[in-house]
């Protein structure tokens, strides 16, 4: 059952529209009953007075002229009258009391002198029959038999009313929807702000205006964002400070190594220092806000990917034949080239380190989103690790030397960079074997 909508706006609107409909129906019912009563009163009074008026006219006429008067009467609105010797003969049922009584009462409103008063009243039919047949026995025992149209009271009396009612209801529903959307807008704003904060800690604060509750929520949200920002800044400062402080001793050590006599020892020491430097660089890259210090430019992503592969082939000459590029030859996108190159390099180096091969495929953009695959022919990634590899300092296996010094920061950095570009990266295993990193980026 999906009758109960999911969104707050739709739920509120539904409740409001339903109560509105209920109130409308109740009000309309009361109005209709009231109207029926009023109509019946007016109708019975009208019928009674008209019938009695006719009777009075006939009764006050001298007996010998009555026949011709009845005959010549100019009656309107379906009223007919005949002077007969018997009460009206019709197949209609006798009129029910609740209609007969008010008509009889109304008849008494027309003054008729006592001698000419009717001696007996026969009333047949009801509103449902469309007419009422009334026979009045006169003093001379003749019957004045009359027939008058009588329609059941209507709940409303014009088509315009129905139209107006529908219009009113539709307008009320639309107003409700509009008001509800307006009222729930702050919730959506808050959700968007939270989402933006997830992407960029320096996202602009929420405006703290609007209704009290909304303003309070916005202020609380801004305070939370500020605390997160300070936390991130502290972490960045700390990591940057450590990185900077380590630069000096590493530089000294590299210089000292140059003065070592033992070539083999010097080579090894420099290799260790390079590794140490790579670790510091990776920590710094992870700690700092990658997005802030590089301008956005238009770059050919296809060429960027091929440059990354060229450099990988230079660094791993023995694997050069397993490094392949496929897909688009040119694709200009707006990005931060140094950061993006680092992200792609990390993925390619992972493919080479764990899969001893790297194939990059750049697919044409679909709906404003491009897809770039980095695949290898290695053993793939255990299912339980697919998501955990994105955690900082997490390693699938004690790692070999690679670009990030094997600290388990390559993938987290890659994902940070891609998310900062509005994209993402997910890992999966290829059906044919090997791992696949699927990079998506907005064009």
Partner 1 sequence: MLGFMETPIAPNAAHILVVDDDREIRDLLARFLERHGLRVTAVRDARDARRALLNGHFQMIVLDLMLPGETGLDFARWLRTEASGHRQMGLVMLTAMGEETDRIIGLELGADDYVPKPFNPRELLARMRAVLRRVGDGQQPRHAQIAQLWRFGGWTLDPSRRRLLSPDQVEVPVTGGEYDLLVALVERANRVLTRDMLLDLLRGRQAGPFDRAIDVAISRLRRKLEDNGRHAQLIKTVRGGGYVLAAEVERL
Residues that bind partner 1 (CB under 8 A): 243-244, 247-248, 250-252, 254-256, 258-259, 261, 270, 273-274, 277, 280-281, 284-285, 288, 293-294, 297-300, 303-304, 306-307, 310-311, 314, 317, 330, 332, 337-338, 341
> The tokens of 14 are what?
């539904």
Using the minimum distance from each CB to partner 1, give the nearer residue, 214 or 304: 304
CB of 193 to partner 1, least distance (A): 29
| Nearest-approach distance from CB 297 to partner 1, in angstroms | 5
How many Cβ atoms from other residues are within 10 Å of residue 49's Cβ? 15
Could you tell me the smallest distance in angstroms from the CB atom of residue 283 to partner 1?
A: 11
Q: Among residues 357, 325, 372, 361, which one has the least CA distance to residue 434?
A: 357
Q: Which of 23, 21, 24, 18 is nearest to 4 (CA)?
A: 18
**What 8-state DSSP symbol labels residue 312?**
H
DSSP 293: T
Q: What angle do CA 410, 412, 416 make, to 5 degrees?
A: 115
The answer for residues whose C-beta is within 8 angstroms of residue 413's C-beta and 6 or more apart is 282, 285, 286, 290, 342, 343, 346, 404
Q: Which of 85, 95, 164, 90 has its CA nearest to residue 124?
A: 95
Q: Which is nearer to partner 1, 144 or 282 (CB)?
A: 282
Instruction: Supply the minimum distance, in Å, between the C-beta of residue 359 and partner 1.
Output: 18
Euclidean distance between CA atoms 257 and 376, whole angstroms = 38
Of the pair 305, 358, the CB lying nearest partner 1 is at: 305
How far apart CA 173 and CA 183 sit, in angstroms, is: 15
Is residue 436 a contact partner of residue 427, using CB atoms and an 8 Å limit? Answer: yes
Strands 424-429, 358-366: pairing is unpaired
Smallest distance from the beta carbon of 287 to partner 1, in angstroms?
11
Q: Which helix (H) or strand (E) holds 366?
A: strand 358-366
> Least distance (Å) from partner 1 to the CB of residue 248?
5
Helices (H), 137-211: 159-199
Helices (H), 60-158: 63-72, 97-107
**Smallest distance, partner 1 to C-beta of residue 293, A:** 5
- Which residue lies nearer to partner 1 by CB, 236 or 429? 236
Nearer to partner 1, 151 or 298 (CB): 298
CB closer to partner 1, 141 vs 248: 248
The minimum distance between CB 308 and partner 1, in angstroms, equals 8
Choose between 52 and 441: whose C-beta lies nearer to partner 1: 441
- Please, what is the minimum distance in Å from the beta carbon of residue 173 to partner 1? 52
Distance separating alpha carbons of residues 341 and 136, to the nearest angstrom: 109
8 A C-beta contact, residue 407 and residue 279? yes
Give the pair of three-digit tokens for residue 113. Answer: 């002198």
Closer residue to partner 1, CB minimum distance, 223 or 338: 338
Among residues 314, 413, 309, 402, the alpha carbon closest in space to that of 361 is found at 309
Q: Using an 8 Å Cβ cutoff, are 327 and 361 in contact?
A: yes
CB of 317 to partner 1, least distance (A): 7
CB 270 to partner 1: min, Å = 7
Output 33 or 237, the one with its CB closest to partner 1: 237
> Are the beta carbons of 342 and 351 closer than 8 angstroms?
no
- Residue whose CB is less far from partner 1, 58 or 280: 280
Residue closest to 411 by CA, chosen among 426, 428, 432: 426
Report phi then psi at 135, rounded to 5: -115, 130
The residue (of 98 and 272) whose beta carbon lies closer to partner 1 is: 272
* Rounded least distance, CB 209 to partner 1, Å: 36
133: nearest Cα among 148, 153, 118 = 148
Q: Which is nearer to partner 1, 330 or 400 (CB)?
A: 330
**Cβ–Cβ < 8 Å for 332, 301:** yes
């Amino acid at each position: 059952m999906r009758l109960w909508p999911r969104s707050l706006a739709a739920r509120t609107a539904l409740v409001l529209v339903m109560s509105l409909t209920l109130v409308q129906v109740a009000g309309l019912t009361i109005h209709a009953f009231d109207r029926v009563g009023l109509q019946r009163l007016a109708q019975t009074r009208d019928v009674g007075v008209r019938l009695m008026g006719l009777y009075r006219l006939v009764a006050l006429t001298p007996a010998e002229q009555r026949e011709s008067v009845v005959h010549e009467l100019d009656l309107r609105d379906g009223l007919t009258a005949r002077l007969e010797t018997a009460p009206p003969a019709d197949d209609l049922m006798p009129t029910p009391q609740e209609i007969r009584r008010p008509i009889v009462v109304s008849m008494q409103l027309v003054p008729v002198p006592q001698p000419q008063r009717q001696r007996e009243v026969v009333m047949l039919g009801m509103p449902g029959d469309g007419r009422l047949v009334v026979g009045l026995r006169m003093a001379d025992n003749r019957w004045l038999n009359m027939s008058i149209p009588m329609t059941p009271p209507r709940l409303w009396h014009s088509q315009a009313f129905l139209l107006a009612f529908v219009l009113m209801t539709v307008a009320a529903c639309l107003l409700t929807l509009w008001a509800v959307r307006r009222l729930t807008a702050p919730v959506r704003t808050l959700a968007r702000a939270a989402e933006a904060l997830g992407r960029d800690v320096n996202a602009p604060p929420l405006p703290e205006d609007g209704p009290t509750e909304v303003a309070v929520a916005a202020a609380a949200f801004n305070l939370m964002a500020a605390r997160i920002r300070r936390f991130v800044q502290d972490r960045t400062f700390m990591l940057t400070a450590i990185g900077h402080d380590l630069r000096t001793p590493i530089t000294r050590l590299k210089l000292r190594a140059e003065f070592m006599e033992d070539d083999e020892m010097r080579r090894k020491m420099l290799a260790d220092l390079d590794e140490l430097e790579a670790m510091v660089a990776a920590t710094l890259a992870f700690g700092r806000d990658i997005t802030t210090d590089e301008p956005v430019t238009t770059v050919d992503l296809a060429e960027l990917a091929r440059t990354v592969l060229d450099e990988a082939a230079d660094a791993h000459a023995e694997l050069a034949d397993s490094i392949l590029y496929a897909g688009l030859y040119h694709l200009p996108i707006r990005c931060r080239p140094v950061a993006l190159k680092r992200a792609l390099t990390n993925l390619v180096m992972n493919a080479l380190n764990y899969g001893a091969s790297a194939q990059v495929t750049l697919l044409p953009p679909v709906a404003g989103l491009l897809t770039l695959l980095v695949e290898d022919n290695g053993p793939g990634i255990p299912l339980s690790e697919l998501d955990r590899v994105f955690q900082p300092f997490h390693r699938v296996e004690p790692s070999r030397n690679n670009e990030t010094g094997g600290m388990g920061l390559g993938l987290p950095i890659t994902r940070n960079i891609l998310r900062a570009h509005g994209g993402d990266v997910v890992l999966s295993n290829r059906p044919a074997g090997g791992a696949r990193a699927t990079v998506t980026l907005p064009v």
